[in-house]
Structure 1
Amino acid sequence: MLPSTKKSSPRKRRRTQEERRSETSGKLLKATVDLLLENGYSRFRIADAAARAKVSRGGQTHHFSTKKELIEAAIERLFESEVGQAEFDAAKTADEDVIDQAARHAQDFLTSKLYTVSLNMLVSAGEEEHLADGVREISANSRVPIEEAWVHRIAQSGISRQEAAAILVLLWSIQRGYVVGRKIEGGRGKKNAGELEFAVGLLTGYLKSKRLGSPALPSSPPSPPGSKLGNGIPVEGAVDHKGQQGRSASTRDQILDTTYQIMRDLGHAGLRSAKVIDQSGVSRGGLLHHYPTKDLLVAAVYERIVDRIEQDSLRRIGATKDADILSAIVEDAQARFFDDSYKVTLDILIASGKDESLAKVRKALEERYSPGAQNQWASRLMESGVEAGKAYQITSFLWNMVKGIAVRNLVQKQGDLSEQVIALGLELAGQAARS
């Protein structure tokens, strides 16, 4: 019999233990990111991540023993590729395109899974779990080389590093404000394309003027008075607590103040009925009488915060003189976005944005305060003589600048730099209004 000429199949190489470990880890990290995107942090469960990755609970525990370890590892892995991309994009950019390309890089980053997940964590993870601190440290450590790549490139075009940093933070803060408004707050306008072009145009012109030897950065404006919402939600108007209606209103106030404080300190994920009962002194029956479900309670807190904010804005809009409109827009935005209550509202929108109770409250608030503070400030600018289209662009520029700085501050506050950025934004807005 002739020997067979058929070649035997090559034996498949067995994967090493390290390769198997890396594959399992990668599956868990991907599942974690996907679940955080779909459900938010408050509804994330480590067992769900293991199930989606098709990894046993024992295998999951072997790789990541706690939820904190798993989430931090997932975010850190996403950041690694972002740093390299920033350095590559900045290095290949020409001087005349540096602002436009920096904006493009930011747009890609701010619409990425990484940004969505990390923002979700910074807003929603309660301080009690120390998870927000870990995410904040990862974000801060990664932000340094990302921003440094672009600051270095902008400075190479002929300005100081201080000026380059202010330009970059202003640009990215405006973009951050746009993205948060659209993705979380549900703001109008699909992509803010015209508004972004307006901001890029202002900063490109400013950078060109700096190369020609214009004066240094403007001095920082005085900070506006702090908001009064730090430790609770003020009640609008005095409440008569005599009689049944008064006692009922007093109980609601206790419940809502306590719920707000818990959410401010522990996040939506840390909100429990037992905590509200214990800290407010209201009985379980009293809590359920006023707010039968957690969704209704959270929606009521959201409504109370927004009511106070919008009423404060209406007072400022009515009391501001024409000559002070630009600075008043910034002060109003700072009172709104720099306050603890803004983080609470973002947390509510991330965790409960699809709940019917909150949707009804948001619709009612939109109708109650239409057309909204930002649009009403733009109308004030128009009344002062600024053309309509430009008035809306300038208002959006300043409004989103402050909002973006507030979100940036969730990672790390840099007071001096923030004030310098706001001063630059006001200077550019003033030039645009006068042109």
Structure 2
Amino acid sequence: MATPHEPKQDRSRATRQRLLESTIDTLAETGWAAATVAVVAERAGVSRGAAQHHFPTREDLITAALEYMFDIRMAQAETEARSLRRIAEGVGRTEAVVGSLVESYTSPLFKAALQVWTHAAADPALRERIVPLEARFGRVSHRMAVGALGVDDSDPVAHHLVQATMDLARGLGLADVLTDDSARRKEIVAQWAKTLHAELFGLRSATAEVTPPMPVGQRSVTGPT
């Protein structure tokens, strides 16, 4: 049975979500300087007083927006990882995983997060708030990439190759901030996927198939005695 408080609580949650989504959109489209409580509130269609009721300071608003971005990014990554695991094993799946990681760093969510990272570099208090969030996101993203690729993360070579792939994805995302880098990015993804697949799977298979030579003293000799 519904209680008298539920409609008000629902409105409060909806208001909070609109503010968080407006913060992300403002950061991604117009940058850090424009993402004030007043601007975000106007964009969300909320009074400044109502916005400050949910988020008393700009730092509170930005931190909450980052947490909200984290939840969205994780939900998207989980959905993508399930889809990728349905692709038959092979270089095609590896390329799909690499492509998915790279595209996640060209999204509006990444562009919004980048604005916060840049400002946090000169703001120790903000940096202290967001570093744990990004570290957590990095760990979860790494784990999902490992699962989608189907590799053993306890193998240090595999671990570092997956991490290198994530670093590559982040770098390609940065390259896309100022100009459309999609054509070059597609070529790099295809080439890196082949290299990654060979390192993770091809060389291992080749090693397993090679029969080591017998010691000289044990080699059979054919021919007349």
State the one-letter code of the partner of 1:76. E
CA–CA distance in structure 2, aligned partners of residues 189 and 112 of structure 1 = 12
Which residue in 1 is equivalent to 2:223?
none
State the one-letter code of the partner of 1:138. L
Residues 178 and 142 from structure 1, CA distance in 2 versus in 1: closer, same or farther, beyond 3 angstroms? closer
CA–CA distance in structure 1, aligned partners of residues 141 and 185 of structure 2 = 24
- Aligned residues of 2:161 and 2:196 also touching (Cα < 8 A): yes
What secondary structure does 1:95 align onto? coil
1:51 is the counterpart of 2:42: yes
Which residue in 2 is equivalent to 1:202?
195
Residues 83 and 164 from structure 1, CA distance in 2 versus in 1: closer, same or farther, beyond 3 angstroms? farther
Aligned 1:31-430 pairs, distance under 5 A:
31-92=22-83, 93=85, 94-96=88-90, 97-128=92-123, 130-154=125-149, 156-157=150-151, 160-184=154-178, 186=179, 190-212=183-205, 214=207
1:317-344 deviation line (CA, Å, top 9, x unaligned) = xxxxxxxxxxxxxxxxxxxxxxxxxxxx
What secondary structure does 1:183 align onto? coil
Cα shift at 1:103: 1.2
- Aligned residues of 1:28 and 1:50 also touching (Cα < 8 A): yes
What secondary structure does 1:30 align onto? helix
Residues 26 and 33 from structure 1, CA distance in 2 versus in 1: closer, same or farther, beyond 3 angstroms? same
- Aligned residues of 2:20 and 2:64 also touching (Cα < 8 A): yes
1:89-144 deviation line (CA, Å, top 9, x unaligned) = 33452432442122132133112222111122111235436113322221111221
What secondary structure does 2:123 align onto? helix
Structure 1 stretch displaced more, 159-168 or 138-147: 159-168
CA–CA distance in structure 2, aligned partners of residues 14 and 160 of structure 1 = 50
Cα shift at 1:67: 0.6
Residues 33 and 140 from structure 1, CA distance in 2 versus in 1: closer, same or farther, beyond 3 angstroms? same
Aligned residues: 201
What secondary structure does 1:111 align onto? coil
Cα shift at 1:14: 9.4
1:230-252 deviation line (CA, Å, top 9, x unaligned) = xxxxxxxxxxxxxxxxxxxxxxx
State the one-letter code of the partner of 1:201. K
State the one-letter code of the partner of 1:59. A
Residues 157 and 143 from structure 1, CA distance in 2 versus in 1: closer, same or farther, beyond 3 angstroms? closer
Cα shift at 1:192: 2.4
1:185-225 deviation line (CA, Å, top 9, x unaligned) = x486744222221111111122223432659xxxxxxxxxx
CA–CA distance in structure 1, aligned partners of residues 121 and 170 of structure 2 = 23
TM-score by length of 2: 0.77
- Aligned residues of 2:151 and 2:158 also touching (Cα < 8 A): no
Cα shift at 1:80: 0.9
Which residue in 1 is equivalent to 2:217?
none
Residues 159 and 46 from structure 1, CA distance in 2 versus in 1: closer, same or farther, beyond 3 angstroms? closer
Residues 166 and 130 from structure 1, CA distance in 2 versus in 1: closer, same or farther, beyond 3 angstroms? same
- Aligned residues of 1:151 and 1:161 also touching (Cα < 8 A): no
Cα shift at 1:178: 2.1
Cα shift at 1:164: 2.5
Structure 1, unpaired ranges of 5+: 1-12, 216-435
Question: Between the two proteins, what is the percent identity of the paired residues?
Answer: 23
State the one-letter code of the partner of 1:67. R
Structure 1 stretch displaced more, 166-175 or 58-67: 166-175
